[in-house]
Structure formats: structure tokens, C-alpha cells
Structure 1
Amino acid sequence: MILHTIETGLFKLDGGAMFGVVPKSIWQKTNPADANNMCTWAMRCLLVEEGNRLILIDTGIGNKLGEKMLSHLYLHGDDTLEKSLAAKGFSTDDITDVFLTHLHFDHVGGAIMRQGDQLVPAFKNAAYWSNEKHWDWAVHPNVREKPSFLSENILPLQESGQLKFIETRQQTEFLPDFNVRFAFGHTDAMMLPQLKYKGHTVVYAADLLPSTGHIPLPYVMAYDMFPLQTLKEKKEFLEEAAAGEYVLYLEHDALNECCTVQQTEKGIKLKNIFKLSDL
């Protein structure tokens, strides 16, 4: 197995929304905000080479958002999904599988592109992987979460015939050395890839742990549908990660690509920060 970091650009979200009930005077020490209270976040994907499979985990926000939504998200940076794939020697046509942790616009937006007046899969040769529980949640969204589930990102996956479902069962095996964990606090049935890589356990943390700034247990996003469930899941996961010395691959941390955590007298704390290429 070979893993590649795929950067797809940066965007901004409100710092208060990203840290929930935690006061700005505390969270701004690790995630400083601009004059509009906005913090910068990455949309970091992961490319997995395994045998004859080339698996892209999440796709970033894509390039088809309307002006109104773009005005709220402040996209910036030089990285794009296509440029990052090309830097690794690949194109979108080489991708055999697109693994979607969940169907929020900043994770699935790059899965679909505009072709003339049509919306078509950006990866024409790939199977797109979700799960039936999350799919149903996304296509019948509640009012609060509806703005994150854009039909233009979701329905074309099914219409193309390229959509496949993973069984919603904790520790489902997707491929040898590639298991799937499930989390239900941020959104229903979010999938977290857990990989065996160079003697390490690497977990793509998605929105269970957006950044190193979210390691303290009370730091739960206001975007989470079930914050107490997130609190429980994060506690159990971080304790397991500390005991197992897991490498946590951070999708949204603009500065830190990977980290490990450790158990201390004051709870779980950040241990080391590094790049995936350092492994």
C-alpha cells in the first residue's frame, strides 16, 4: 500500500461554529480568526494505491459552487484536486474508487463536475462508495443540515450507476489493511477509513476530529447533529488512538497534516505533529 496526501485548497468557516460552546478567547489560541471571525481550514484528501486499485478518499469542495455560496466560504490557496493528482502522476481517469466519508459539500463537491449543462461524475472510471444509512439521511435531510447536502453533489452519483454501498457495520473490511469505522455524531453513519501502513495504524479522521485544535473533548462543532454522541465517540476513539499510537490524518487542519495523541493525567493531549511522508 502507498498513501499520498492530496491537497484540494482552503476555505473559511466561522470559528464559533467550528468550536461550539468553547469561548473564542480559548479556541483562537490554536485557530486564530480574521476580522469576520472566520478561520482557515483545509480540505485534505487521501489517495491510496493498493494493487490495481487507486482509491481517493473524499474529493474536496469542487469547482461548481454558485457565487452566493462562494461568497460565504472564501476559497483560497493554489491547490486543486486535479493539480494535486497530477503532481503524483495521476489523472481523474486513473481513479478506480472514490470513498466518501460523508456527503457534506466540502467532502463530496469534487465528485461531480459540470459538463455543458449536465452534472456528471468527475471520475468516469470509478465506483463511488457511500453507505445506505448515510445516503438515506443525505437525500432526505433535516432542515438544519440541508444546506450541507447539495443535491447537485449527490443525486448524479446514483443516476450515473456508479454508486455503491458499504455495509454499515463497525470495522467493516473494505480491502485488506483497509477497514471502515463508523461515527454517528457529526452526521448519520460517517465513515472513517482505518489503514495498516508501514507498521502504523492510520485513521482518516474526517469530521470526528477536524483539527488538532479539536482534541479536547468539549471542543465539538456546532455543525454536529448529535453533539453528545460526538463527545462519546471522540472520547472512545482518542483513548484507543493513544493506546494504539494511531496516526490521525487530519482533513481540515490547515497547518497540521498528521498527529498522534497521548494519555496524560489531564486527559488526552496532542503528542506529535508530522507529515504523512515522514512515516
Structure 2
Amino acid sequence: MNLFPVNAGNFKLDGGAMFGVVPKSLWQKTNPADANNMIDLTARCLLIENGNRLILIDTGMGNKQSDKFFGYYHLWGNHTLEGSLNKLGFTKNDITDVFLTHLHFDHSGGCIEWNNNKTGYKPAFKNAHFWSNKDHWQWATQPNAREKASFLKENIIPIEESGHLKFTDIPETDILKNSALGFDIFFANGHTDKQMIPMINYKGKTICFMADLLPTVGHLPLPYVMGYDTRPLLTLTEKEKFLNIAAKNNYYLFLEHDAHNQIITVKNTEKGVRLKNIYTTQEIFN
């Protein structure tokens, strides 16, 4: 098995929205804001090469939205999903599976692109199966008013229309063992219903793709919960459970949205779970 980070693009979001009720005087110590109160974020996807399967976890925002849409997110840098794959020696057609932690636009937008004459949409990965789960799919296709702006139909419906949509099982407990993709999955419901956190066994290490359960290093303290989470008190419980397991077992936490920190480990302290070490993906994957 080989693992590769794939940068699908960088963006900015309002720091207050990213940290909910936590005062700026606290969160800006780890996530400094610009003059417009925006903080640096990224869409760091993960590529798993395992035998004859090439599995991409999440896809970033994609490139099919309007300039007005992207203007809200202050894109920066020159990374793209396709360009990052090409630098690794792969093309979009090589991808066999796309695993979506959840269907918010910054995680699923790259799944679908315009067709050649921009009259409709097509899968960006024509040879891939796209993985979600039934409960989250229903949640996303029948969205509540709070999340409706994050579940864009053009990112979701064409996946089903392609005939390449597949669902993972949903466990009775929090963790689905040995899923159809070959890794365990932790299910979390605080951010959005049935978000999936992949837990990959790699060279004796457990690599956890944290998605929006832990967006950045700055979100380690339990009360540091995003304003975007639909059930923030549930996020507290889920994050505490997962981070305690991660500290006990020395899991390596792959941060999807932290623009400046790639992988971390955590430890238990008198103040709760806190940062232990920061690593680059090269240090852990090579």
C-alpha cells in the first residue's frame, strides 16, 4: 500500500464561523486571521494505492462553480485536484474509487465537472465508484435549511445518475470494521449526519483522515467546535471519544483542512487531549 497527499486547492473562511462560540482572542493564537477575519484553509485529500485499486478520499471544491461563488471563499495558491494527481504520476481516469467523508461542497465538488459543451454535468472520474452511505445520502438530497447551501445538487445528483454510486454499510456502533474499501470507518453525526472518518492501517500505523471532525490543530480543545456543525454538543462527545482513542493508540491524524499542519499525534494531559507532535506527510508516508 502507498499513501499520497493530494492538494485540491486552498481557500479561506471566516474564523468566527470556524470556531463557533470561542472568542477570537483564543482561536487566533493557532489560526491567525487576515484583515477580513478570514483564516487559511486547504482541501488536502488522500490517495490510497492498494493493489489494483486507487482510492481517492474527498475531492475538494472542484472548478465548475461561478466566479461569484468562488469569490466567497478567497481561493489562494495554484493547487488543483487534477494537477496534484498528475504530479504524482496519475490521471483522473486511473481512480477506481472516490470515498466521500460527507457531501458538503468543499469535500464533494471535485467529483463532478461540466460536460464538453457545458450543457450538463459528468463524473470527473469516469472509471470510479463513488462511496457514501444511505443515511447521509438521504440527509444531503433532502437537506435541512441550515445545510442547504452546502449540499449543492450539481455535486450530488449526477453521481447517482452516473450509475456509479455505492454505499458503505452503517455499523450498529461507531466504527465499521474492514469496510468494502479495506479500511475501518468511524461514523460521526455532530458536524453532519453520518460523516465518515477513514482509519487506514499503514505500515503498522493507523492513519485517520479527520475531515470535519478535527479541521485544524486549533480545534483540538473540546469546546472549539465549528459554527457549521449541526449538533455541536454531539461533536463534543464524538471528538472527546475519538481523541482519547487516538491518544491511547498513537493514531496519526491526517488534517484535511489545516493549511499549515499536515499530520499530528495527540496525548492526554491535565487539560484534556492536546497536541503531541506535528509531522509532514513525507515523514509518515515514506
* TM-score scaled by length of structure 1: 0.98
**CA–CA distance in structure 1, aligned partners of residues 120 and 241 of structure 2:** 44
Q: Give the aligned partner of residue 166 of structure 1.
A: 168
Structure 1 residue 173 displacement after superposition: 2.0
Contact 2:12 2:73 in 1 (8 A): yes
Contact 1:177 1:196 in 2 (8 A): no
- After TM superposition, list the pairs within 5 Å mapping 1:3-18 onto structure 2: 3-18=3-18
Given candidates 117, 121, 124, the residue that maps to 1:122 is 124
- Look up the equivalent residue of 2:20 and give its one-letter code: G
Identity between Structure 1 and Structure 2 (%): 58
- Determine whether 1:202 maps to 2:207: yes
**CA–CA distance in structure 1, aligned partners of residues 178 and 137 of structure 2:** 19
Structure 1 residue 217 displacement after superposition: 0.4
- Look up the equivalent residue of 1:60 and give its one-letter code: G
- Determine whether 1:212 maps to 2:217: yes
Contact 2:27 2:218 in 1 (8 A): yes
Q: Tell me how large the CA RMSD over aligned residues is.
A: 0.9
Structure 1 residue 68 displacement after superposition: 2.4
SS in 2 for 1:89: coil
Q: Give the aligned partner of residue 112 of structure 2.
A: 112
Deviation per CA, 1:26-79, whole angstroms, max 9, x where unpaired?
101111111111111010000001110000000010001122221211111111
Comparing 124-133 with 76-85, greater Cα deviation is found at: 76-85
Contact 1:186 1:230 in 2 (8 A): yes
Q: Give the aligned partner of residue 138 of structure 1.
A: 140
**CA–CA distance in structure 1, aligned partners of residues 100 and 44 of structure 2:** 13
**CA–CA distance in structure 1, aligned partners of residues 177 and 132 of structure 2:** 13
**CA–CA distance in structure 2, aligned partners of residues 63 and 219 of structure 1:** 30
- After TM superposition, list the pairs within 5 Å mapping 1:49-198 onto structure 2: 49-115=49-115, 116=117, 117-169=119-171, 170-175=175-180, 178-198=183-203
Contact 2:169 2:176 in 1 (8 A): no
SS in 1 for 2:154: helix
Q: Please list every run of 5 or more consecutive structure 2 residues that lacks an aligned counterpart in the other structure.
A: none
Contact 2:200 2:206 in 1 (8 A): yes
- Look up the equivalent residue of 2:71 and give its one-letter code: S
**CA–CA distance in structure 1, aligned partners of residues 253 and 259 of structure 2:** 14
- Look up the equivalent residue of 1:7 and give its one-letter code: N
Q: Give the aligned partner of residue 229 of structure 2.
A: 224
- Determine whether 1:265 maps to 2:270: yes
Deviation per CA, 1:162-211, whole angstroms, max 9, x where unpaired?
10011111324225751111100000000111000111111000000001
Q: How many pairs were matched up?
A: 279
**CA–CA distance in structure 2, aligned partners of residues 71 and 249 of structure 1:** 27
SS in 1 for 2:76: coil
**CA–CA distance in structure 2, aligned partners of residues 11 and 276 of structure 1:** 20
**CA–CA distance in structure 2, aligned partners of residues 173 and 151 of structure 1:** 30
SS in 1 for 2:109: helix
* TM-score scaled by length of structure 2: 0.96
